[in-house]
Amino acid sequence: MGSLTDITAVRTALAAAAGTITGPPALRVQHWPVVGTISTPAFAVHDMITDFDLAMGRGADDWLFECRLYAANLGDGRTASDLLDKFLNPKSAMSIKTALEVDRTLGGTCSALRVERIHGYAVYTVGADSYLGARFDVRVY
Amino acid sequence: MAGFALTDVRLYVAGADLTGQTNKVDFEGTLNDEDKTTFGSQGWVERVGGLRSAKVDVDGLWWAGDAGQPDDRIWADLTGGTSVPMTLCGTSGAVGTPCYVTKALDLSYKIGTKVGALLPFSVNTMTDGPVGDGNILHPQGTARTTTGNGTAVQVGAVLTGQRMYLGLHVLSIAGTGTPTITVAVQSNVDNTFGAPTTRATFTAATALGGQLLSVAGPITDTWWRATWTISGTTPSFLFAVSAGIA
């Protein structure tokens, strides 16, 4: 197992993997920081928590990336939650978890990856707009 | 050395550097307690030290795929049933780093965890023979492409009845034309190495692996260094040399 060396490459690869979801509607990739109006549905890699030194000699670290899905504008009502459910359902053809785990090395940018958790099924406000969305915890080594 | 956070233990087993795949290392040296109590012991138990032994227990992250990875190394040792050279040091493995050098026999190997977690391993080893206490003579991270001499290290004199144990771990080989490295260890009265004595020469290495040699005392020289002869076409070697007295 090697230590993750390029955070930007991992963030880019995570977004690219999510961007393979063709929908309909196709998932767009939104770069962090997310500002202005979002063209939904959109996926962005947000925060991260790093626990250093899983192994001796800087052999491995633990990276937890928080990704966020903005499914639809809150004003879309029932349609917004139905669409969000499709992205969250691991059995769906639009599953975020499945898309991110197709290549668990993200093209060689990491040693291993797992989408661990969905949480924060909620309304997120960006600028003047509110969106229905959810958060994904993606653990990367 | 003051207390420090243990983040950089170097563990070389034969031709594998397991540093980056391990996260817990326990070394325990033991001395058998032999009872020599007699009626003349005035009612108190009397003891004398008997046989010495040591064990090294290692936890880490399972990885496999080449001879430098823990699963390949440990499985080869377990199925081979023979001990292999091991060097253990608490910090970076730089020249002069305190270390233990010995041969170790893998006795148990455990793999497994719950779903979703990183797959860990643990291996329990017992030493096979003495454990030399000394220093690193050549660091694992410095690539050598030409013949040369290492830095002088004051490991100490070897007293009558003691031996200097010398470990070689060839960790990486590159090049063509059968890259070959022959490592020797020299001693000298001081760090100038003006008139060095070659104390031991390892078998020429063309593949990853480890060797352990020992030299009997008395040796009054206190300074030691590694030397190496390299041949081949554009050769490059990563190797560690350790020395310890027991």
Separation CA B6–CA A112 (nearest Å): 25
Q: Which residues pair with A45 in a beta bridge?
A: A67
Inter-residue contact B74 to B111 (CB < 8 Å): no
Separation CA A67–CA A134 (nearest Å): 9
- Extended beta strands in chain B, E state: 10-13, 16-17, 22-35, 47-61, 84-89, 98-111, 120-127, 132-138, 148-149, 153-154, 163-188, 197-201, 209-216, 223-245
The chain A residue lying nearest B70, using CA atoms, is A1
Q: Is B116 on the interface with A (CB under 8 A)?
A: yes
Taking 80 as the threshold, does the pLDDT of residue A2 lie above it?
no
Separation CA B205–CA B209 (nearest Å): 8
Task: Please name the amino acid found at residue A141.
Answer: Y
Mean residue pLDDT of chain B comes to 96
Separation CA B137–CA B97 (nearest Å): 8
Inter-residue contact A125 to A1 (CB < 8 Å): no
Separation CA A101–CA A108 (nearest Å): 13
Q: What pLDDT is recorded for position A11?
A: 94
Separation CA A92–CA A100 (nearest Å): 13
Taking 90 as the threshold, does the pLDDT of residue A138 lie above it?
yes
Q: Please enumerate residues of A whose Cβ is less than 8 A from a Cβ of B.
A: 1-3, 53-60, 112, 114, 116, 141
Taking 70 as the threshold, does the pLDDT of residue B200 lie above it?
yes
Give the lowest-confidence range in A33-42, A52-61, A67-76, B154-163: A33-42
Q: Is B10 on the interface with A (CB under 8 A)?
A: yes
Q: What pLDDT is recorded for position A77?
A: 76
Taking 90 as the threshold, does the pLDDT of residue A36 lie above it?
no
Taking 90 as the threshold, does the pLDDT of residue A37 lie above it?
no
Question: Could you count the other beta carbons within 10 Å of the beta carbon of residue B220?
Answer: 10
- Extended beta strands in chain A, E state: 28-29, 42-51, 62-73, 113-126, 129-140
Is A53 in Cβ contact with B7 (below 8 Å)? yes
